[in-house]
Amino acid sequence: SIYQIERIEGRVMAVNTFLVRGPDGLVVVDGMLTVSDAARVRQAIDDTGLPVAGVVVTHPHPDHYAGLAHLVDADDVAIVATSAVDAIIRRDDQLKEEVVGPMMGDEWPSRRVFPNRTIDDGDDVRLGGLTLSVRELGPGESHVDSLWQLDARTVFAGDVAYNGMHAYLADGHWREWLATLDRLEADLPDDVNLFVGHGSPGGKDLLAAQRRYIETFVDAVEAHADAIDEGDHRGVNEAMQRLLPTDSLLFLMDLSIEPTLAALREAR
């Protein structure tokens, strides 16, 4: 193939940046949450000796864009997202600063850069001698998710599915997320390779696993509503760890419990 893909996983937070080596430079997919993880990615970029041809941002959560200033600040590069993803990043960045900033302390990038080139659903972008086509999925894990396809089998899927880690559902779009997973199950090729935002790349089975996770979570929140009202999350945490016995990103799931209960009640 004319490209190679390297995965770099954050140490402060388990989130992926992908470096795609094309014929004419590097394409960076997603940009880390923290200063030190972004610095590690920058070192990996420098180690390749290749110029950064562009950056792609899959969705508007800060663990995928906040570190970009530390990654590509010195380079005059295209930071590409769909118009809808860009709009949500800009709309919510100040709120993320107020919520995530204190959680991260000195690791929170005080200066953040946003996409400087937007494209729309179904468009292609050519970077580093490679062509990526974008498919916008609408609300799901975030307020607007997108897939970036390098070829029929190679898809950068953002957080549409996690691999072996707990998930964030606090944006409240789990119904749409389930519908998206069904749609992708139907129309992605069986041998697709999903380069996901959290965990190792995997196959189509990640979609079914993510659906199970979402359904289990929503059921657990409903079942333990009274305890949650008392500030007790143990029942949900135990249910989710029975399904997925790991602490990895458990805090994201825990942050999602109260917003999900509120959204369930609103929908009634």
Please name every residue paired with 46 in a beta bridge, in sequence order, or none if there are none: none
- Position 61 scores a pLDDT of 98
How far is CA 85 from each of CA 7, 18, 96, 167, rounded to the nearest angstrom? 23, 19, 15, 20
* Per-residue model confidence as pLDDT tens digits over 149-176: 999 999 999 999 999 999 999 999 999 9
* Per-residue model confidence as pLDDT tens digits over 189-206: 999 999 999 999 999 999
Phi first, then psi: what are they for 213, rounded to 5°?
Answer: -60, -50
pLDDT over 90 at 266, yes or no: yes
Confidence of residue 267 (pLDDT cuts 50, 70, 90): confident
Tell me the Ramachandran region of residue 46: left when phi exceeds 0, alpha when psi lies from -120 to 50, beta otherwise. Answer: alpha
Tell how far CA 174 is from the center of its chain: 15
- Position 74 scores a pLDDT of 61
Nearest residue to 122 (alpha-carbon basis) of 114, 113, 132, 134: 134
Nearest residue to 61 (alpha-carbon basis) of 261, 252, 228: 252
How far is 259 from 174, CA to CA, in rounded Å?
Answer: 11
Task: Confirm whether pTM is higher than 0.95.
Answer: yes
* Per-residue model confidence as pLDDT tens digits over 44-84: 999 999 999 999 999 999 999 999 999 887 668 999 999 99
Three-state DSSP class for residue 82: strand
- Position 106 scores a pLDDT of 96
pLDDT over 80 at 228, yes or no: yes
